[in-house]
A and B are shown apart, each in its own frame.
Chain A
Amino acid sequence: MKPKVAFFEFTSCEGCQLTVLDTLQRHPELLEVIEIVQFREAMSERGEDYQIAFIEGSCTRPSDEAKIREIREQAQIVVALGACAHLGGINAIRNRMPLEQTREYVYGDKKDWFETYPARPLSAVIEVDAVIPGCPIDRKEFATAVTHLLQGRKPAIPDYPLCIDCKLTENVCMFLRGQTCLGPVTRAGCEAICPAQGQGCEGCRGLIPSPNMHSIKQALREHGMTEDQIAAKLSLFLTYQTMQLEGVTPA
C-alpha cells in the first residue's frame, strides 16, 4: 500500500513546494509509490488521513502552534521541508531586533493588526523526524529522501561541510577567487550549486554539527569583511542557529 502524504506550509515563500512539484514532473514515478492526499500548491482535495507530513515554513505566530501540533498528532513521520522549517530561515533575521521595532518597520501604523513573534524552526515546536535542508530544497535530495522513507530509513543528509561538495566537483575555492563563502561551516548536499555559479555559499542548508565559528569569522575578516558585514552574512539563514550557539534569546 502506498503511504499517504500531505504537504503543509507556514511562514515561507512556498518555493520548496514548487520544487516538489518540479520533482514530480521530473520523476512522475513518485506518484506510483506515494499517494498525495493534501497539497494546496497542486490540488484542491484535502485528505486528512496522511501518514507522512512534509511541512514548509517556520513558526512565526502563536496561532501556528496548534496547527503544527495537530499535524504532528496525525502524521507518523514529520519532515521539515526547506530552510524555513529547518532553521527558521530568513524569517528569523528579525529575531535579533526588538520585536516591536520590527512590527512597526514592517506594518507601520497597522502593526497591531497582525500577530507575530520571533521565528522558530519546526523542531522548536514539535519533534521532527527528518529534515530536507536548503533554500529551496534540492530536487534530487527530495527524491532520495522519499526512497529512504519508503525503505523505512531516516532520510540521510550530509553532516560534512560544503567544501567537500566543492572539491568533488573541482570548483576553485571562493576564498582563492577573492570572494567570501560560508562553505566551511555549512552542511553539504547541494552539489555546491552557488560556488559552481561563481557565488559564495550563504549557508541556506544550515551549520554542520560542530562548526568552528571562530575560524570562519577569522577567514571572513582576512578577506576584507567588517564585523558588521560578517554578522550580516551569518544572519541570512543562520540567525536562529548562531543565536542558539551564543546562548542569546530573541529580543
Chain B
Amino acid sequence: MRILPKHLLQAWVERLRVDHRVVAPRESHGQYIFDEITSADELVLDYHSSVLPPKKYFLPPREDLFTFNAKTMEMSPVIEEIQPTVIMALHTCDLHAIQLLDRIQGTGHVDQHYQARRRKTTLVSIECMEPCMAQAFCKSLGTLSVPEQFDVHLTDLGDRYAVDVGSDAGEALIRGMGFFWKPSDADYDRFNEVMAGKWPNFDYRLDCDVTDLPNLLGASHDSALWDEIGERCLSCGQCTKVCPTCYCFDVVDEIDLKLEKGKRVRVWDSCLLEKFAVVAGGHDFRNSRANRLRHRFMRKGKYQLEAYGLLGCVGCGRCALSCPAHITPIATLNTLNERRQASPGESA
C-alpha cells in the first residue's frame, strides 16, 4: 500500500495526461458518462454510475474491422492507432465485468481488436463506500471489492487515498512519480477502520445465495414469471447496451455510391431485439419477449458461469435503472426464489 494525499491527486492525473489519454466520469443530465478529460481539474471520482460501462473503450459501439475494394477484390484490416489510456474511477463492479470480458475475449477465437485496446489501457479503480444507487446489488454478487485482476485501486481515507497496485501496468503509473508516500501505522489503522466500516452501508438484496443462482435459474426455466415480465418488456434492448458484460455484435458492410470502396463494421447487437435469433429461412428460436428475457437472465446467472467460471452479472444495477418497464434483476430473481420455495420440486 502507498498513500496519495488528496492535494496531489490532480498533479498525478496531470502527469498521467502527458503520455496517456485519461478518461473519467463526466456529468450529463444528472447521469455520468466516461469521457476524456482535458484537464485534471475536470476529474470526478464521486459518481453513482455511468450510462455506458467502460467496456466501450475495448468494444466500441461501432468499429471498423476491415476495408475492401469490391472492384479489385482487395481487403486490408483496420488496425487503429490506439493511444495509451488510463480509465479513472472505475467501481469494483465494473472491474469484475472487465475480468469476465478479458476471459471471454481471450479464450478460443481471441478478439484482436479487443486485445489491442485492452493492452493499452490501465484501470484506476476506487473503493465504493456507500451504495451508488438504489438499483445496485453488488454486495449480493460479491463485487463490492476488487477482483484478483486490477491495476491501481484507490481507497478514500479522508484527506488521503490508500493506493494498492495489482499489476505491472499499474505500477508503471505510480513508480517514480513522487506523489506517493509510504503509509504510516496510522494509515493502516485508518484503512482497516474504513474497510470494516463500509460493509454495513450495503444491503444484501438477493434473497438467495449468489452460488445458488445457476440452480435457481435452472429450476425456473419453465416459470410463468417469464411470460409475466415478458408482457411488460418493451424489447428495447437498453438493458443489454448498458450491461458491462454484454458483448454481442452484428456485422454490416458499408459501401460507397460507386460500389467500389467499402468497409465491414461491427455494431453492438442485443439478444432482446426481435431479429436477434432469426436464422436462414426466417426461423426464430426466440420469438417472444418472454423467451428473449429468459435467455438474458440465463446468460447472466447461469450460462456465463458454466462457460467461463464467472457470473455474467456484477450487480451494477444499470439495467434496472434504464428499463422503462422497471424489470429488474433483483425483483425477478427474488420472485423466482420465492416461488421455488413455495413449490419445491415444481417449476416456479
Contact = CB atoms under 8 A, between A and B. Distances in A.
A150 B259 contact: yes
A164 B257 contact: no
B236 interface: yes
A29 B256 CA distance: 10
B124 interface: no
Contacts of B52: 167, 170
Contact of A160 (B258, B259, B274): B274
Interface stretch (B75-83, B90-98, B237-245): B237-245
B241 A164 contact: yes
Contacts of B259: 33, 147, 150-151
Contacts of A214: 231
Contacts of B268: 164, 168
A173 B242 CA distance: 11
A197 to B, nearest CB: 12
A146 B323 CA distance: 36
A52 to B, nearest CB: 14
A172 B257 contact: no
Given A161-B236, A215-B232, A172 B30 contact: yes
A198 to B, nearest CB: 8
Contact of B325 (A144, A208, A209, A215): A215
B257 A29 contact: yes
A219 to B, nearest CB: 4
Nearest to B270: A164
Given A151-B255, A215-B325, A160 B29 contact: no
Contacts of B238: 163, 167, 173
A88 interface: no
A111 B256 CA distance: 50
- Candidate in B30, B61, B234, B254 with the most chain A CB atoms within 10 angstroms: B234
Interface in B12-47: 28-31, 33
A245 interface: no
B321 interface: yes
Interface in A68-110: none
Interface stretch (A14-22, A35-43, A176-184): A176-184
B319 to A, nearest CB: 11
Interface residues of A, number: 38
B289 interface: yes
A215 B29 contact: no
Interface in B281-308: 289
A218 interface: yes
B33 A170 contact: yes
A234 interface: no
A173 B325 CA distance: 13
Decide if the interface of chain B is mainly helix, strand, loop or mixed: loop
B103 to A, nearest CB: 24
A63 B202 CA distance: 69
A172 B241 CA distance: 12
A160 B234 contact: no
A216 interface: yes
Contacts of A216: 234, 324
Given A151-B259, A170-B51, A219-B325, A163 B237 contact: yes
B322 interface: yes
A143 interface: yes
B234 A159 contact: no
A44 to B, nearest CB: 25
Contacts of B257: 27, 29-30, 32-33, 143, 146-147, 150
A185 interface: yes
Contacts of B232: 212, 215, 218
B273 interface: yes
A201 to B, nearest CB: 11
Contacts of A176: 29-31, 321-322
B274 A219 contact: no
A164 B273 contact: yes
A146 B61 CA distance: 25
A194 to B, nearest CB: 14
Interface string B46-60: 000001100010000
Interface string A173-206: 1011100000111000000000000000000000
A161 B51 contact: no
Given A176-B31, A177-B30, A208-B274, A161 B234 contact: yes
Contacts of B231: 214-215
Given A33-B258, A185-B234, A215-B324, A160 B275 contact: yes
Given A212-B289, A214-B231, A215-B324, 4 more contacts: A163-B234, A177-B29, A215-B234, A218-B232
28 contacts: A29-B258, A32-B258, A143-B257, A144-B254, A147-B255, A147-B257, A151-B259, A159-B274, A159-B275, A160-B273, A160-B275, A161-B235, A163-B234, A163-B238, A169-B61, A170-B33, A172-B28, A172-B29, A172-B33, A176-B321, A177-B30, A184-B324, A208-B235, A210-B274, A212-B235, A216-B234, A218-B232, A218-B325
